[in-house]
Amino acid sequence: MQNELSLPKTPIRFALYASRPYWYWGMFAVMCVVLAGSIDSATYYVFKRLIDTSMAYSNGTVAISAVLIWVVAYPLTATGHQFLYRAANYFAATWLTSTRSHGANMLFRYLSLHSIPYFNNRFAGSTASKIWNASGGVQGMYETFLWGYLSTFIAFVTSAFLVYTVSYWVGHLFIGWIAALVVANYFLSKRTAKYSEQRAAIRSRVSGVVVDIVTNMLAVKNFARRAAEIERVEAGTEELRVASWWSWFYYETLLVFNNVLNTLFALSMIGAGYFLWSSGQITIG
């Protein structure tokens, strides 16, 4: 067992260490997300085959049995991925709640090793608040990985494969747009991370100040520091409000920018699809 005095210092290493006893729950959750994302993207292919086969049946070129296969396959894929996502949530609930609890316990054991004078200063409350921020951050990191990065990556890979089966030209256009979106968001998200980090640091400091004041209320009253402490808390909450506003405002601006890019992306893909369809290179499905 790793020494309590040498906990991992980086967020990713600490997250991996905190979740180590529950790795199998995480593995099951990841497997379900991968399967669900793949089936979700494949639903569009099934729908395409359903349309094409139905039109072929109307023209008398295929039997009704060929249509029935896709009629049955479509609801199975459309609902099957939802059940897999629910299963992933069940596994993730056990994995992440256990990981957060284990991480908080490790941090508290580490904090308890400090000397007695350490707990008598005004920074102890802020440090205690960071325990919950750090353990909660581990859970948030894994949630973002599961429902954000992993799901998006699986959808991208599956969609790219399906697009390339239709047309190499449209596939190249699809890859080009995705690359442009990823590069643009990579640079723009750096400022988002800066605002989020600033907001988290201020929230930890304000929470610590409140904890310290409450636990030392006797000293505050005896030395007539109530007005000064109230002013200190109000100044901290105002600073937190401003930081939260900037973080939220920039995030919404980033979403607007992405909406514009996604609109251009959709229009270009529809235009390319219409051109290929009108020239007889692809089917309507």
**Confidence check: pLDDT of 4 > 60:** no
The half-sphere exposure of 239 on its side-chain side, counting CA atoms within 13 A, is 16
Instruction: In whole angstroms, give the CA distance from residue 257 to residue 260.
Output: 5
Q: Judge whether residue 191 has pLDDT over 70.
A: yes
Poorest-confidence range of 102-116, 161-175, 181-195? 102-116
Query: What proportion of the chain, given as a percentage, has pLDDT over 90?
Result: 3
For residue 121, pLDDT beyond 70: no
| Phi and psi angles of residue 216, each rounded to the nearest 5 degrees, phi first | -120, 35
Name the amino acid, one letter, at 6: S
Can you tell me the mean pLDDT for 214-236? 64
**Model pLDDT, residue 104:** 78
pLDDT for 177 equals 84
> CB of 271 within 8 A of CB of 168?
no
Distance between CA atoms of residues 200 and 271, nearest Å: 44
Q: What is the pLDDT of residues 6-43, one digit of tens each?
A: 777 777 888 888 888 888 998 999 999 999 888 888 88
Determine the pLDDT at residue 73: 84
Task: Give yes or no for a contact between 5 and 135, defined as CB atoms under 8 angstroms apart.
Answer: no
DSSP 8-state symbol, 238: H
